[in-house]
Structure 1
Amino acid sequence: MNQENLLIYLVSDSIGETAEQVAKAAISQFVFQDYEIRRFPFINEKQQIMEMLEEAKQGRSVVVFTMVVQELKDYLIEETARLNIPSIDIMSPVIAGFGGVLGAVPKREPGLIRKLDEKYFKKVEAIEFAVKYDDGKDPRGLKKADIVLIGISRTSKTPLSMYLAHKNLKVANVPLVPEVTPPKELYDVPSKKIIGLTTNPMKLIEIRQERLKALGLKSEANYASIERILEELEYADNIMKRLGCPVIDVSTKAVEESASIILEILREIGYKLTNGK
């Protein structure tokens, strides 16, 4: 490498993406012949810093860092000064600025933005799972699910699945219909991971009649008849008893309330919720 070329050492106690993006954006503002970037992520010991600086002091170098752990940051600043290596602290001025505005003390924890990104992608994955395994579309998803909702038509299976997906839970749901045998995979799911949904028959008549109207069908269709609804509820109740799963009556509950009960059931069985609640 030509002696005039610049070595940019990117040092971080996390992945180091911020340091690289800022360094590249800044150096693009200069007419510059050549430079090389060397990235040192996940620095968590002073020895790692010293080894990097031993290399950096051999050439024309600058250290660009995004260290948030105070002890390591102070050590890096001290050693670059001692070795006469220029250093640029990217994070501290921004953190100090926000600290002044918010009147709060920073966590000084590496990788928080990456953790937020991971949480976002887990939520997207859970939502995609809920869509893929909604309404019993693919019984293979039952074993992969964090929780399985079962119940007759119009017992809020899909809305609950989507709501819980936003809590990073992978939810599958299965409709229970007297004429259709439940998938055999349902009986391989631990009963504590299955939630049965039931409802008041008179409330269900109203809901189904409104559904028929929305579809432009006659409200007196068998789908909304009391005889049919009682038959479906009895059939579903027998399956839920056979499975030995918890059952929630959703007739007077909002989706949020039913979801809260489900989350509490999961806590009781020791399921670790990924959204931290």
Structure 2
Amino acid sequence: MYLQKVSKYHSDLKIEEHGLMVSKELNFVRGSPDGIVTCRCHSSMSRLLEIKCPYSARNMTVEEAVTEKKIKYLEKKDNILHLKKNSQDGYYAQVQGLLGITGLTLANLVVWTSKDCKIITVKFDKEFYQKKLIPACESFFLTQIAPALLISQEASDNYSNDDLTQNVVPSDKMSEDIPNNDLQVVVENSVQNESEVLVQIYKCYQCGKILPEDGIKADNSNASVGCDCKNCSCDVWMCWPCARYTEEWIEENIDWYCPHCTRECDLVY
């Protein structure tokens, strides 16, 4: 339908699929555009193609869906539909990210329903891409992706396949095989200036999962507690389920000690 609408204004209009594309500047910033549109009459005017088919608005026109707030990522200004910059759907960031990765300056956002097909032109927002999107991608890579990859590699080096399937470190390996809990990861060549970045990541002493500083779940399954031992500098952290820690401990101000300290430092609860 997009080709039918647009091809009459261009010569030899084509949609090329490229699969996963990687930023030339930051190799961990990647994306898969729905297509890149080219034509013979505008050789220097290739456009990014991104297609949305909102199921909740399938039986409405696009403008009806925007009015009824079935489509929240579009807004109408001066009788023209625009892609919202601050939409919670993340589509503005998606389109701008793909424009930055591909080096293109224009995108055609196609919104299709069974009753309608609208084409919204989106221009490349260089300031948004460089000052907001890229820093967010760097932060996500350094705090989430790199630690997960490196801890996964570390686990595969240290433990058998059975241990990894269980995702639990055997108790007889806890004190010897697990490296210091405050894993320090140097991630090289991952930021724009290619300088080294030091990231401190905490993981559970027993099960090995990454312990977040925020985004704690309501059931506290990913909450963490650190060892209160004053006799050593173990700096051990565990998730609440592994530590058998509860909110009552906080309310009663009870110190928590890791398995190593209860054994080696002769501490008891």
TM-score when scaled to structure 1? 0.23
Q: Where is the helix percentage greater, Structure 1 or Structure 2?
A: 1
Kindly indicate whether structure 1 or structure 2 has the higher relative contact order, using CA contacts under 8 Å at least 6 residues apart. 1
User: Based on CA coordinates, which of the two structures has the bigger radius of gyration?
Assistant: 1
